[in-house]
Amino acid sequence: MYKVFVNDKPLFLTNEVQKETNFQIFLLESIDIKKLIVKMFKNEIQNTFLYHPDEKLIMKTLKAKIPVVKAGGGLVYNKKGEILFIFRNGKWDLPKGGTEKHESMEETAMREVEEETGVSGLSITKKLQKTYHVFKRNGRYKLKQTYWYEMESTFEGIPIGQEDEGIEKVEWVNPERVPELLQNSYENIKLLFEEDNKQ
């Protein structure tokens, strides 16, 4: 199952249908995906399952209808075990950004962390899950597919937010404070911490 967030509401791409649910269920072959996305954006539809026996085909269809933007980001730990957060657009987030030509996803993720926070001395410790969300820019819908990596940093200076990216604050956060910050974050970001706790 894939989770795609549209306006921070989940659109599940699934090959299983649960009988007892308050979610609306749509069949891939009988729905216009783009219209569905627009309705979710306008809050006309809340929580949705999009069903087809082959869930990869649903994702393929979605990517065919809505242009895909690839990004890389980091869940970064310092030597004290604190986690690097940024504050932008009124929410706590993790550093991430779009890929550039001839760059691997790992390179994108590390470059974006450094550009957005000033934190260097990065090394990737493991690959995390990809997250998906639909956003609207210049009147067009796009699907952002973000590749996430867990990283360690030897950086000991003071992190500084990239102003032209609208980053107001950068903080190293004690893991105990993370649940508090996640109350004012994005669903995609919460997923990364859910995954982290499973292991």
Averaged pLDDT for residues 152-176: 96
Q: Which burial class, exposed, middle or buried, applies to 94 when counting CB atoms under 10 A from its CB (0-12, 13-18, 19+)?
A: buried
Q: What is the pLDDT of residue 196?
A: 56
Are residues 104 and 188 part of one domain? Answer: yes
Tokens 């390179």 locate to: 107
Q: Is the pLDDT of residue 110 over 70?
A: yes
- The CATH number linked to 161 is 3.90.79.10
Query: Does residue 121 share a domain with residue 171?
Result: yes
Same domain, 27 and 78: no
Q: What per-residue confidence (pLDDT) applies to 198?
A: 47
Band (pLDDT 50/70/90 cuts) for residue 7 is confident
Q: Residues 28-50: what's their mean pLDDT?
A: 92
Among the candidates 65, 82, 110, a domain finishes at 65
Q: How many Å apart are CA 129 and CA 91, to the nearest integer?
A: 21
Identify the residue whose tokens are 């910050």. Answer: 181
* One domain for residues 73 and 60: no
Give me the mean pLDDT over the 120-147 stretch: 96
What single-letter amino acid sits at 59?
A: M
Among residues 65, 80, 115, which one ends one of the domains?
65
- Rounded to an integer, the average pLDDT of 122-137 is 96
Same domain, 7 and 45: yes
Neighbours of 50 (CB within 10 A): 23
Q: Which residue has the tokens 């249908």?
A: 17
* Residues 56 and 73 both lie in one domain: no
Q: Give the three-class secondary structure for 22.
A: coil
Indicate the pairing of strand 167-173 with strand 24-27.
Answer: unpaired
Q: What is the pLDDT of residues 51-83, one digit of tens each?
A: 999 999 999 999 999 999 999 999 999 999 999
How many domains does one find in the chain? 2
The range of the structural domain enclosing residue 115 comes to: 68-198
Q: Are residues 9 and 102 in the same domain?
A: no
Percentage of the chain beyond pLDDT 90 is 89
- Same domain for 74 and 116, yes or no, is yes
pLDDT-derived band at 199 (thresholds 50, 70, 90) equals very low
